[in-house]
Structure 1
């Protein structure tokens, strides 16, 4: 896989590094951090990392000893696309989705390492609890009382376009080297995002090719680079990515494995903001300007402002969903929306 333009990389600041002595110190840093940080060697003692230090084949053998006998979902890219899993010229995906058992997928990687035709193979966001036995217990970070989604990402050299995720993310490199290029939340206008419904993996992605940016087509990307941060990670290193930060991810070696932990600060019964954005496009975006202005004011009043003036005149027992949400009132809104959308 080709490298990014060194001149571009040279101008990007590095993600700061932090040393943590124990789980309590990691917990404090995670709670206080507002920007990404790297912890070198955080998971260096993992058995998977130790296997990887011997060889990529040893790492695959270790994973096979823990996998469950069930089909895995794998993205298969095209030769000649430089590992980039993205859109083709017609805005369809330039990769196909297949289902296969893990030994079959790893056999394809073995063949490529032996000199076969190289193409991107990528197993993305595989739930470790559902697809492996004992792997998460043997390779684990103590993150206290956070409710975690623990995923593993495996594949050949790949480039994943810049995107963001709603939860916070602790990404731990287990096998191979990885490069993250990160941008603050507010840089989305300078990243030239693609569609929000036709996406490679559920989130809108930057249309900029980070290895060969077209500054004529994407001039504001220069501004984004002024705010960018870069992290080059070795096996055993970990990177904290705060919620909604944009990140472009590259797996740089012939076989790469990442384990990540996602968690949210908000209550689990709340809805997904992306769903609200999609519904607003459906219901508001194409209204006449004067009506859009009214609904913008309503959103400011009920959602973004939401001060005591919204409910002070309503008896407390009668404030319904205007009061702080509970699992019951959140469920009531969800049921109401399902009925309305099904009409």
Structure 2
């Protein structure tokens, strides 16, 4: 299936010193950035699994790590049990040296157990490693501490992130398959909680899609694009784009940077989604449609529309939300919820 999908757009002219973040954000489209991190130490060490592991061990501070483990029967796909009541893998805690040794021991297995150290802050376990392995987004005013992902042939089921993301393949190879946000209607998202990685995932198995059970998935795939990343390649993924990620080698390492395009005092819209599920979803259809009009007017229309006919001093929350207004709104909502 993946071989028949159109490729993602690519650029080969970017370096960490010339990364066009504003241009990428303004375009709002995913882009593969070939060779962006070709000079990283981790990438230079990626000529073999042993040298990659040795590089990580040299920088590892010995503190335990949390990782997901699943038996050979999950086939590298942290997901759900058949009834969706729980995940098909377990969370374990050990030293990274032990995790790496077990990955190496099973490297030649046709169907090994799954090992996945996910979203581990680089600075928390690999002090000093950023000196030779960093995009240094801070030079562009972006605060995005990098996370590292270490595992074997793991498949991250299709999901979206609320933040913008640059993911850098530093060892092994990964296949990324991306779909635009509107395809949520055709991707059959699973439970909001629990989730394999913090966000709802598509319940469709991309490797063997059941189109009788999930017929709209075929419509989703008409909008999918894909790319295989080699060590040193990166991909920019705008917020809310769905992405399915496959580790293709017995050992794979990725470093990623998440950041928001808005100030930190604006919270995640996921909080609003939960409140909307609670307060709106189960109302009569007529009321829901009326509230849709209210939200279109106040929220989804032009930001200045609802307060444009009022004097600036009278607009209050209808004007731009700054840090002071954010604190007032937070206090007001907490007060209402605690009644």
Length-normalised TM-score, structure 1: 0.91
Match of 2:38 in 1: 44
1:300 shift after superposition: 1.5
- 8 Å Cα contact 2:14-2:36 kept in structure 1: no
SS of equivalent residue, structure 2 residue 329: helix
CA deviation map 1:179-221 (0-9, x unaligned): 0111111111111111223321221111110110111111111
Aligned residue for 1:13, secondary structure, equals coil
Aligned residues of 1:300 and 1:306 also touching (Cα < 8 A)? no
- Conserved 8 A contact 1:20-1:26: no
- The DSSP-based 3-state class of the residue aligned with 2:72 is coil
Alpha-carbon distance, 1:311 to partner:
2.3
The separation in 1 between residues aligned to 2:304 and 2:267, in whole angstroms, is 23
Deviation at 1:251, TM superposition (A): 0.7
Per the alignment, residue 5 of structure 1 pairs with none
Q: Distance in 2 between matches of 1:116 and 1:246?
A: 29
CA distance in 1, matches of 2:262, 2:28: 16
1:236 corresponds in structure 2 to 232
Instruction: Determine the structure 1 residue equivalent to 2:198.
Output: 202
Alignment of 1:38-77 (within 5 A): 38-53=32-47, 55-77=48-70
Q: Against the structure 1 CA distance between its residues 296 and 118, is the aligned structure 2 distance closer, same or farther, given a 3 Å change threshold?
A: same
Which residue of 145, 148, 157 corresponds with 2:144? 148
Give 2:266's aligned residue: 270
Residue 88 of structure 2 corresponds to which residue in structure 1?
94
1:19–1:322 CA distance, 2 compared to 1 (3 A): same
Q: 1:129 to 1:295 in 2, by over 3 A?
A: same
Distance change in 2, residues 1:49/1:324 (3 Å): same
1:332 aligns with 2:338: no
1:15 shift after superposition: 1.0
- Give the 5 Å matches for 1:280-299: 280-299=276-295
1:1-343 counterparts in 2 under 5 A? 8-22=1-15, 23-24=17-18, 26-27=20-21, 29-53=23-47, 55-91=48-84, 92-113=86-107, 118-143=112-137, 144-306=140-302, 308=304, 310-343=306-339
SS of the residue 1:250 aligns to: strand
Gaps of at least 5 residues in structure 2 are: none
Q: Quick one: distance in 1 between partners of 2:165 and 2:234?
A: 10
How many residue pairs were aligned? 335
Deviation at 1:69, TM superposition (A): 2.8
Change (3 A) 1:306 1:184: closer
Could you tell me how far 1:293 is from its partner in structure 2? 2.9
Q: CA RMSD in A?
A: 2.0
What's the CA shift for 1:21?
Answer: 4.8
| Superposed displacement of residue 84, structure 1 | 0.8
Q: For the Cα contact (< 8 Å) 1:153–1:257, is it kept in 2?
A: yes
Instruction: Note the C-alpha offset of 1:166.
Output: 1.3
